[in-house]
Structures are given as structure tokens and as C-alpha cells.
């Protein structure tokens, strides 16, 4: 038995029949751990790399893979083989819908070796693969996975290094340079832009993003992810302060105008959900 199949990683959720994380019907696997701390993070329980006990998350619905696991603990260890057994249960849906598996987080590249093995196994079984990433990872980690990834869902939040650090805890330089390198490799990339009213939708930021993406010829699609505060309760349960109390979700008008604006830079713009 190859050692890669018994490699273990920490997963905090698996969502079946996902339709917003790439083409067709998908299984989304959420790997725990993220180097960022975005103030609007919808999954604050994803940020710490290790399993954690967080308030009353017992009412949360988990996929069958978590049966028998302590529901009070977020994040459990699974092998590549266990994850793939769960993913492969829906092979037939992937085949008929053009779907596949999406590895998300947290930041899946925080567990880069585990992710690499999951991707290799998926490709071995001809499953379409997507990786949902913040782009904040060493280039060497991205370079190792690129040939096993059919689609990157790549977040661009704020262009300015200082502003990026202010709202996410890390600067933008690495994120932008990795995106340049991925695009130069001809990777298929959909850029995801969280629309956080008064923060990311400011004209100087959207202008800079539009100009930057226009220069990357292989990127032609952007998904707008409108801010919502559905995660507020999670912060309360985790006894963490929620700092965006004053921020309202963007209006339809704001989304329409952003769509038009990014369209002028040659991007095909769709609206999704901030999850």
C-alpha cells in the first residue's frame, strides 16, 4: 500500500452536492487551518490548524464521514483513503453533471502534502479537481499541486499591501505574485472577490484589481461574493469579537455596478455566495 494513501490530515467539514464551488455537482472537503484572519471570515472555526472545542457546535450537520466523532470538537483526523472513499461515493453525480471535488478551507495549502496526495488520488480516479485558495502559501507548495488541479478558485481581496494586512492579518504581495505565476503557467483560474461594503468595494481597490487582472491573459472570470453576517453567531459561540457589526451587505445596485465595472476590464462576472 503506498504511504500517501494513509497520510493523515485534519478535516473540519465535508459538504455533498455543492453547486457553488466549481462546475457541476461537487463534494467540498474543508481542510482546517488558515494563515489569514479576514474580519469577514464565515468559518472562524477553520482558522486554527489543530482540532478545537468550540461552544455549542453540536447542532451542526456533519457528513456521514463524521459519524462516531465528537461533535463538540471541530476538526478530526482522516487519512487520504478515508476522504477519497467519501468523495468517490458520488462519482456518478460528477460524471453526469461535469462536477468533481473541491478542496477548500481554511487554506487547504496549509496542509500541502495531504492536499497533494488527495489531488493525486482524485486524478487517479478521473475526478475533476478544484482548489479554493487565499493564495497565501509558499510558491513551492502551489507549484507542486498545479498539474493535478483542473480549476483554482483564487481569492483577491485588497490590492494594497497595508490594507490587506489591516483586514486579513497578512500583506497582499505573496497572494498577487502567486497569482501572476499561476496565470503564467496557464492554470485555469476563477478569481473570487468578496464584496465587503466600504472595505473591498472602494473605487481605488476595484480599479487596481481590474487593471491587475487585465494584465493576466489567462483569467477571464470573476465571482463576486457579497458580504453577509450569517456567521456572527459563530463568533459569539467561540467567544470571539465580531468586528464588522456596522457593515451592511452590498445592495443589488452595488453588485450591478461592480459587475459592470469589472466587465469593462474584459472579465465575465458572476455573483455567488460568501461561505
Rounded distance, CA 52 to CA 209, Å?
36
Rounded distance, CA 16 to CA 104, Å?
13
37 touches ligand SF4 by CB under 6 A = yes
Least distance to ligand SF4, CB of residue 136, Å: 7
- Report the residue number, 100 or 105, with the smaller CB distance to ligand SF4: 105
Rounded distance, CA 157 to CA 191, Å?
10
- Report the residue number, 126 or 177, with the smaller CB distance to ligand SF4: 177
Least distance to ligand SF4, CB of residue 198, Å: 17
Place of cell 486579513: 168
- Report the residue number, 33 or 100, with the smaller CB distance to ligand SF4: 33
Using CB under 6 A, pick the residue from 75, 106, 135, 250 that binds ligand SF4.
Answer: 106
- Report the residue number, 47 or 172, with the smaller CB distance to ligand SF4: 47
Which of these ranges, 23-31, 65-73, 99-107, 175-183, lies near ligand SF4 under the rule CB under 6 A? 99-107
Least distance to ligand SF4, CB of residue 28, Å: 13
Secondary structure (H, E, C), 198-233? CCCCCHHHHHHHHHHHHCCCCCCEEEEEECCCCCHH
36 touches ligand SF4 by CB under 6 A = yes
153 touches ligand SF4 by CB under 6 A = no
47 touches ligand SF4 by CB under 6 A = yes
134 touches ligand SF4 by CB under 6 A = yes
15 touches ligand SF4 by CB under 6 A = no
Distances (CA, A) of 34 to 108, 111, 142, 169, 188: 8, 10, 15, 11, 23
- Report the residue number, 12 or 78, with the smaller CB distance to ligand SF4: 12
Rounded distance, CA 12 to CA 123, Å?
23
CA 106, 25, 23: angle at the middle one, nearest 5?
Answer: 75
Least distance to ligand SF4, CB of residue 274, Å: 8
Least distance to ligand SF4, CB of residue 266, Å: 26
107 touches ligand SF4 by CB under 6 A = yes
Rounded distance, CA 182 to CA 202, Å?
26
Rounded distance, CA 204 to CA 225, Å?
19
How many of the other CB atoms lie within 10 Å of CB of 37? Answer: 12
Rounded distance, CA 139 to CA 124, Å?
24
Place of cell 475526478: 127
Least distance to ligand SF4, CB of residue 24, Å: 23
Place of cell 455533498: 16
231 touches ligand SF4 by CB under 6 A = no
Using CB under 6 A, pick the residue from 27, 43, 111, 112 that binds ligand SF4.
Answer: 43
225 touches ligand SF4 by CB under 6 A = no
Distances (CA, A) of 193 to 124, 188, 258: 32, 16, 10
- The site for ligand SF4 (CB under 6 A) is made up of 34, 36-38, 41, 43, 46-47, 105-107, 134, 168
Amino acid at each position: 500500500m503506498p504511504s500517501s494513501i494513509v497520510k493523515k490530515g485534519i478535516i473540519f467539514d465535508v459538504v455533498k452536492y455543492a453547486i457553488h464551488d466549481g462546475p457541476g455537482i461537487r463534494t467540498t472537503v474543508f481542510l482546517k487551518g488558515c494563515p489569514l484572519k479576514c474580519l469577514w471570515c464565515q468559518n472562524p472555526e477553520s482558522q486554527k490548524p489543530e482540532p478545537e472545542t468550540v461552544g455549542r457546535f453540536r447542532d451542526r450537520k456533519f457528513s456521514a464521514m463524521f459519524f462516531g466523532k465528537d461533535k463538540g470538537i471541530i476538526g478530526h483526523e482522516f487519512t487520504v483513503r478515508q476522504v477519497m472513499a467519501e468523495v468517490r461515493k458520488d462519482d456518478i453525480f460528477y460524471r453526469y453533471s461535469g462536477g468533481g471535488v473541491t478542496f477548500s478551507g481554511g487554506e487547504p495549502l496549509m496542509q500541502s502534502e495531504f492536499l497533494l496526495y488527495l489531488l493525486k488520488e482524485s486524478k487517479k480516479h478521473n475526478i475533476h479537481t478544484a482548489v479554493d485558495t487565499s493564495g497565501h502559501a509558499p510558491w513551492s507548495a502551489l507549484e507542486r499541486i498545479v498539474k493535478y488541479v483542473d480549476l483554482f478558485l483564487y481569492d483577491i481581496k485588497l490590492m494594497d499591501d497595508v490594507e490587506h494586512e489591516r483586514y486579513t492579518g497578512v500583506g497582499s504581495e505573496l497572494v498577487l505574485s502567486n497569482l501572476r505565476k499561476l496565470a503564467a503557467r496557464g492554470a485555469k483560474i476563477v478569481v473570487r472577490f468578496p464584496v465587503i461594503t466600504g472595505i473591498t468595494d472602494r473605487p481605488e481597490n476595484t480599479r487596481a484589481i481590474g487593471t491587475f487582472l487585465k494584465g493576466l491573459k489567462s483569467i477571464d472570470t470573476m465571482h463576486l461574493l457579497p458580504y453577509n453576517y450569517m456567521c456572527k453567531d459563530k463568533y459569539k459561540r467561540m467567544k470571539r469579537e465580531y468586528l464588522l457589526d456596522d457593515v451592511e451587505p452590498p445592495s443589488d445596485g452595488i453588485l450591478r455596478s461592480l459587475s459592470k465595472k469589472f466587465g469593462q476590464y474584459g472579465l465575465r462576472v458572476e455573483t455567488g455566495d460568501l461561505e
